[in-house]
Amino acid sequence: MNEIALVVAAFLGATAVIFGAFGAHLLKKKLTTDQLYSFETGVKYQMYHALVLLILGFQLHLESPLNTSIFLAFIIGTLLFSFSIYGLVLSDAKNKKLRFLGPVTPLGGLFLVMDWSLLLYEFISTLA
């Protein structure tokens, strides 16, 4: 399972760089300042969580149900949060806003908060 965490981390990291370059170079002329800022937020959160997954892939024992839950929730949260932002921004730029993605972003954010909370629980439980 740790190998899967590392592969997913590398994929999310690579695509964050691609999307960041895409936003900075190709979308800069097509998006409003607010849209570009939102797109960049998605890229930042994707990269932050790719790095976390990379570290977790080396540190956590993913045979544990709690650690597996942490790993899966980070992936789900990152995908829901960042990719819904990309979809919202790009569809809004084409005047065809995909409104169904609106609730997906905060759902992804809730997963990310849950991830960090589970990770905190894991760390505190190892102190006992």
Mean pLDDT of 86-115: 95
Neighbours of 123 (CB within 10 A): 9
The full set of domain ranges for the chain reads 2-127
% of the chain surpassing 70 pLDDT: 99
pLDDT band at 96 (very low <50, low <70, confident <90, very high): very high
- For 19-70, the pLDDT digits (tens) are 999 999 999 889 999 999 999 999 999 999 999 999 988 887 778 899 889 9
Entry pTM: 0.92
- Cβ contacts of 67 within 8 Å, gap of 6 or more: 56, 60, 61, 122
User: In whole numbers, what is the pLDDT of the chain averaged over residues?
Assistant: 93
